[in-house]
Structure 1
């Protein structure tokens, strides 16, 4: 292909498409991350059209078929995830005098879109899974690590059965084979997804552990091995994955668990508070 940007091609050609093809193109433009990992049959089912319509659309753009079109889409998303690419793109639209406001608005929008993506039913099932687990293992690297640390600290205070797993280290390979269906892994990973987190989640699931993933979309590589996905918008005004929305999710989980099992929570917190007082831990 001379033009490697399928999204730009769709936008430029959309007025020439049939009504059905425009419906497909509109969905792809609005949901490129999802489409990058959907089969042609899955995309057809979601949009409510035939695979033939989608294939004709890709042919009209000059591709040999849906597979080649999808590869081009994946390459665009891969480049967008690169920190230097994101920073350069964001700098074009940034007025440094209003950066403070833009940053605040970005965080608010990320949280709002995250709230809209996660259903109450999913949250209820996630909480049931957490409070019923024998052991909980939280993992994440780079931008996902603070979320894993927050969850480990919060859930351990409430339930006393949570460990932080550093996926970049190799200690987990010696323990993951002992996981059972009573164990729960809460994994956090965002583009560009860390291979070690994926490998850990995959092996944990193969050993029957349950998995909850906090990630950016339902097309995340973690989705294949997860019982539940909690998608978060992690866009920032600079180059990095923003942790604000996923940290909001972590804070919600901790608060909701405390409210779901109040008696157990009170007992744990009272014991911990007694120990802290006995050791004169706090200044005041």
Structure 2
């Protein structure tokens, strides 16, 4: 991004008014532009694809794809834990860490609520409930979200399992899935290739995909039928799962409440077995 801004600064006087609008949009929305097609970018800026291509050449690139590659590399670098920590250290106030953390997490949750409609929530809950089989998958920072959601769905409905995308076992499971099934994938920057591989295969089998990721700009959204954007911003170096846990916790609550005739008998049976096993301590 710094390289692109450097080029813009040196050539801005040579740009047309339309090209300057493109430059402004890229600087303000670098992550989005990094994964847009040239047609979609032209539509968003209100210009033509030819103007996008001329702009790319005017600022020193062989084409729009080369400009995009630089943006994508920059996104990966910014998403690296050490880079995020360095950036956060520059702006952190150690005496207000808790306050800053709380404020950021409220913002993360609000971002999800602003970008997910009630209708979308309802449709996703119905899709999970009506699926023959649900497979949850994630890696690394998304693992806690995937495992929590998988455990909750299976406890309520009995049709869900968790698969670690880093393990090749998902291949054995996926070949049995079809359009009546659902894969729920959790992926944060820097977006593991194993998740991408799995979703590509899923689409080839017509399996529908629900993606929980940090934003609509995630490169994995092109494989998804449904997207739940959950910001993973933190005041440290890690991908935060607070917003995602908030959202999936609501989904589990909605599944339980929307169909008590199905969920309550199952929970009663599970509880009876655990009681007979004296699974829970009485003290």
Same-fold call, TM > 0.5?
yes
Q: Which residue of 2 aligns with 1:112?
A: 110
Deviation of 1:159 after TM superposition, in Å, equals 0.5
Q: Is the 1:10–1:29 Cα contact (8 Å) retained in structure 2?
A: no
Q: Secondary structure at the match of 1:64?
A: coil
Gaps of 5+ in 1: none
Deviation of 1:172 after TM superposition, in Å, equals 1.8
Segments ≥4 residues shifted beyond 4 Å: 7-19
Q: Is the 2:137–2:146 Cα contact (8 Å) retained in structure 1?
A: yes
Q: Is the 1:34–1:217 Cα contact (8 Å) retained in structure 2?
A: no
Q: Which residue of 1 aligns with 2:98?
A: 100
Q: Which residue of 2 aligns with 1:211?
A: 209
Deviation of 1:22 after TM superposition, in Å, equals 4.2
Residues 1:119 and 1:30: Cα distance change in structure 2 (over 3 Å): farther
Gaps of 5+ in 2: none
1:245 to 239, 243, 246: 243
Deviations 1:137-166 (A, max 9, x none): 111110110011110111111111110111
1:30 to 28, 31, 36: 28
Could you tell me how far apart the structure 2 residues matched to 1:20 and 1:62 are?
17
Deviation of 1:38 after TM superposition, in Å, equals 1.0
Q: Which residue of 1 aligns with 2:88?
A: 90
Residues 1:83 and 1:15: Cα distance change in structure 2 (over 3 Å): farther
Q: Which residue of 2 aligns with 1:68?
A: 66
Residues 1:263 and 1:207: Cα distance change in structure 2 (over 3 Å): same
Q: Is the 2:209–2:226 Cα contact (8 Å) retained in structure 1?
A: yes
Q: Secondary structure at the match of 1:277?
A: helix
Deviation of 1:106 after TM superposition, in Å, equals 1.1
Aligned-residue RMSD, C-alpha: 2.2
Query: How many corresponding residue pairs?
Result: 282
The TM-score with structure 1 as length reference comes to 0.91
1:235 to 227, 233, 236: 233
- Where does 1:32-181 land on structure 2 (aligned, <5 Å)? 32-181=30-179
Q: Is the 1:178–1:207 Cα contact (8 Å) retained in structure 2?
A: no
Deviation of 1:55 after TM superposition, in Å, equals 3.1
Could you tell me how far apart the structure 2 residues matched to 1:33 and 1:119 are?
23
The TM-score with structure 2 as length reference comes to 0.91
Could you tell me how far apart the structure 2 residues matched to 1:248 and 1:105 are?
15
